[in-house]
Structure 1
Amino acid sequence: MREALSGLTIRGRTFLAAGITAIVCGMLLDQSSLSRIGILLVALPLVTAVVAAWGRYRLALVRHIEPHLTEAGQPAKVELTVANEGRIPTGTLLLEETVPYSLGGRPRFVVDRIGFGWRHKLGYQIRSEVRGRFDIGPMRVTVADPFGLVELNRAFHSTVPFTVTPRVIPLPSTPLTGNATSSGDSRPRAFLGGSAEDVTVREYRRGDELRRVHWPSSARLGELMVRREEQPWQARATVFLDNRRAGHCGQGAASSFEQAVIVAASVSVHLVSAGYSVRLVTSGGEINAGWHDREGQADAAALLEALAVLETVQHHRIDASWMGEAGQGGVTVAVLGAIDQEDVSVLRRVRHRTGAALAFSLAVDDWSAVPLAPEQRRPSGVPLLVQHGWKAVELGVGDSIATRWRQLGTRGAAASMEAAR
């Protein structure tokens, strides 16, 4: 009852005040008819409040977002299905959706009086310029009586997650190494030569062709073993993102770290579409454990979802535990912030354990909120990377990621041709 009385509208309070005034005046002036009018004016909002408080409104809400995974800057549509599952009709409904500020304003809908079995669909659009994971909801409902005397506030408890992934820049096809990368460690010659450590074999079965016999394994095991040629050799790539807070500049969307996330997302999607099994690692270690390939679109989506919620960390050293996997090889593409001599040991280990080491070195001081003098800027990390065998390019504000990617492939191919000579 207390909630119902607190829900009296201005009209309801006016009726109540006028009724009390009429009753008092009727008693003072000895006008019973005026008192009866006052009693009627007081009773109307009170009875309405009691009915509204004890009425069991059963509203159902189903929320659907399409698509549930959206790139930053792209819109998504939210579809609401509201139904009245109770037998008591309602007055006017005011529906207000709870939406994070970064997705836009709070949508509001006014629905006229609804009866039993009523069902209606509503919709609105959301869009975010920043990546992240957000909760849509809960929905707040204001129920008004037909006379407009009482308004009661209700709220649904359900929410729906909505993920905004980083922007993905289309990258051109470019050779990552000077030779074909058809093996997991970017060394297909070992596979073609019949290396026992690289070839998957099984026991000889009657009817197998003799040309499929793998003689080194047969000699070692003492029985005929044949190659499993039906299993394709999968190229692998590791995308390393330096998310150390000290290695980046800027705030929010206008920061070098956000640019690094966009680069990592673009490279990951490009490698998956090119047939690579891709995994994502950061300065704190491997995230979203496992390799992701192009068996389905959800594989690339898993990488983007991990990048959508990635934040900077306070680590001052790069965690290299992800390099402990035996026979890792493959291609490593690093997206680095500011680096120094303390990172050399890790960079050298990565280079020695990978088939091709490519790096984007961000000129992080370009994203500084305060212009820096030349002597205050941190030196480029490209010379340090090249010195230890990496193929590296510098990426500053306004530089094209696609152009820098093409330059990385060109430098890698040129270096491989030079080594072949």
Structure 2
Amino acid sequence: MREALRGLTLRGRAFLAAGVTAIVCAVILGQPGLTRIGVLLVVLPLLVAIVVARSRYRLALTRSVVPAVAAVGQPVRVRIRVSNEGALPTAPLLLEEAVPFTLGARQRFVVRRLGRRRELDYQVRAELRGRYELGPLTVNVCDPFGLVRLGRAFSSTAPLVVTPRTVPLDRINLTPARSGTGDNRPRAFAGGSAEDVTVREYRRGDDLRRVHWRSSARIGELMVRREEQHWQARATVLLDTRTAAHRGAGSTASFEAAVSAAASVAAHLTERGYAVRLVATDGRDLTAWQQPSVEAASTATLLEALAVVQTAPSTGIEVDWLDGPGAGGLLVAVLGALDGTETAALRRLRNQSPAALALVLDVAGWGAAEPGEIAAPVEATVLLTQQGWQAAPLGAGDRLETAWRRLTVGRAGASTAVRAGGVG
């Protein structure tokens, strides 16, 4: 009963106040007719509160989200199915669905009469990546006079993962970076020929006719030709998660641009047959190796990991993950501001990879910074080039596709310098 009294609406409380006032006035003025009106005004909301409090509705709820994993800006449809498991239809219901403020306003539905089932739809659109919970749903039971409203809440929620926006990238030349792993990983012999990557150590029982004598003489042990080569190209996408390396806030922050670039690169490399993993600059493995044999699932896993990644207060670039299993292969870094203290880390990253590409964000375009705190993008690309990287700047107004194509130009320039004897 106390719950029902607390559920009195403004109209119900006005009825009570008017009824009490009428009764008091009737006693003072000696008007018995006014007393009857006052009693009616007092009894009506109390009687409605008792009836509503004794009403036990048996409701069931199911919620579906399509798609459950959506990209930034993609519309998502949510369907709520409310079932009445009781024997009688319900009174009017007000349904309120809790929605994170970044997805829109709270959703409200009025159901005049709930029979066996009612389906309710609404649409949300996220402009910021992340993991959200839709719900819970609150059911408010209202009487026909609007005097009492009691709330019942379902505890169930539905997850929605909003992945960063991706853009298609052109196929640039990555042949020098195709480094595999495993027992049959190709060996990179200095000055060797293509035959070197098609041989392995001699094992007892191998046919002597498969011995490759030239490789055996050079290595100093028997080597045989492989009949079939299992080889998996691998690529690591390094995302700069240092808080100090980015500027701006919300969906317009430079970190969001970096996440979108990393997502686009990871999806592109997966499509090209690479096993891809994501690593943060603080050394966190954001994902395990994602095999392209299940390309759709691999891309989804990579994007879901990037949907929830956040910046970290670390200031340096960790390289300890290079000592872990499966290190090597193509390295693509999406970096924020560089101040020159990362030189040793950048050099080691480059030395452990057959090829290292970098997209460097001009974070000054996303927000103001203290003088001398941020290296200009051209200076950052020069710093990376001096360590053997192929780097391209990415400004706030630049297209990612254009910056990605610049990496091809840089590779061609470096190759020309090597042929001309400019690089020792």
Q: TM-score when scaled to structure 1?
A: 0.85
Shift of 1:274: 0.8
SS at match of 2:318: coil
- Deviation at residue 388 of structure 1 after TM alignment: 1.1
Which stretch of the first structure deviates more once superposed, 8-17 or 208-217? Answer: 208-217
Which shifted more, 399-408 or 80-89?
80-89
Spell out, residue by residue over 1:215-244, the C-alpha distance to the aligned partner (whole angstroms, 9 max, x if none). Answer: 999xx9x99999572x63111000001111
Report if aligned partners of 1:73, 1:127 keep a CA contact under 8 Å in 2.
yes
Cα distance per residue 1:237-294 (max 9 Å; x no partner): 0000111111122222222211111111110010011110000001111323410122
Structure 1 counterpart of 2:55: 55
> Shift in Å at residue 151 of structure 1?
1.1
Give aligned-pair identity as a percent.
Answer: 50
TM-score normalized by structure 2?
0.84
Kindly indicate whether the alpha-carbon contact (under 8 Å) linking 1:336 and 1:359 is maintained by their aligned counterparts in 2.
Answer: yes
Name the structure 2 match of 1:147: 145
* Offset, 1:369: 3.9
Residues 259 and 14 of structure 1: is their aligned pair in 2 closer, same or farther, counting only changes over 3 Å? closer
**CA contact 2:247–2:363 (8 Å) conserved in 1:** yes
- Provide the residue aligned with 1:280 in structure 2: 278
- Which sits farther off after the overlay, 333-342 or 387-396? 333-342
2:375 corresponds in structure 1 to 378
Question: Where does residue 127 of structure 1 map in the other structure?
Answer: 125
Contact 1:71–1:164 under 8 Å retained in 2: yes
- Is this contact kept in 1: 2:201–2:224, CA < 8 A? no
Task: Name the aligned partner's letter for residue 279 of structure 1.
Answer: R
Q: Output the CA distance in 2 between the equivalents of 1:273 and 1:363.
A: 28
RMSD: 3.4
Whole-Å Cα distance in 2 between the matches of residues 85 and 210 of structure 1? 77
Q: 2:179–2:328: 8 Å Cα contact kept in structure 1?
A: no
- Asked if structure 1 preserves the Cα contact closer than 8 Å seen for 2:131 and 2:161, the reply is yes
Change in Cα spacing, 1:33 to 1:326, as seen in structure 2 (3 Å) is: closer
> Residue 270 and residue 186 in structure 1: after superposition, are their counterparts in 2 closer, same or farther (change >3 A)?
farther
Deviation string for 1:22-76 (max 9, x for gaps)?
A: 5556666777666555544433322221121122122222111111111111111
| SS of equivalent residue, structure 1 residue 286 | coil
CA distance in 1, matches of 2:194, 2:363: 44
CA–CA distance in 2 between the matches of 1:148 and 1:191? Answer: 86
Contact 2:339–2:373 under 8 Å retained in 1: no
Q: How far, CA to CA, are the matches of 1:275 and 1:249 in structure 2?
A: 34
Counterpart AA for 1:253: S
**Alignment check: 8 A CA contact 1:201 1:214 kept:** no
Which SS does the other structure have where 2:77 is aligned?
Answer: strand
Offset from partner CA, 1:129-156 (integer Å, 9 cap, x none): 1111111111122110233321112222
Aligned residues: 408
In the TM superposition, what is the alpha-carbon distance from 1:7 to its structure 2 partner?
1.6
Inter-CA distance 385–314: structure 2 relative to 1 (3 Å threshold):
same
- The separation in 1 between residues aligned to 2:223 and 2:248, in whole angstroms, is 62
SS in 1 for 2:276: strand
- Please say which of residues 305-314 and 375-384 is displaced more in the overlay: 375-384
Question: Unaligned regions of 5+ residues in structure 1, if any?
Answer: none
* CA distance 1:24–1:377, change in 2 (3 Å): closer
Q: Quick one: structure 1 residues 11 and 327, their matched pair in 2 at CA, closer, same or farther if it must change by over 3 Å?
A: closer
Distance 1:385 1:252, change over 3 A: same
1:183 to 171, 180, 185: 180
Structure 2, unmatched stretches of 5+, are none
SS state of the match for residue 311, structure 2? coil
Distance 1:66 1:201 in 2: 55
Which residue of structure 1 aligns with residue 320 of structure 2?
Answer: 321
Residue in 2 that maps onto 1:16: 16
Q: Which amino acid aligns with 2:112?
A: D
How far is 1:95 from its partner?
1.1
Verify the 8 A CA contact 1:175 1:410 in the aligned structure 2: no
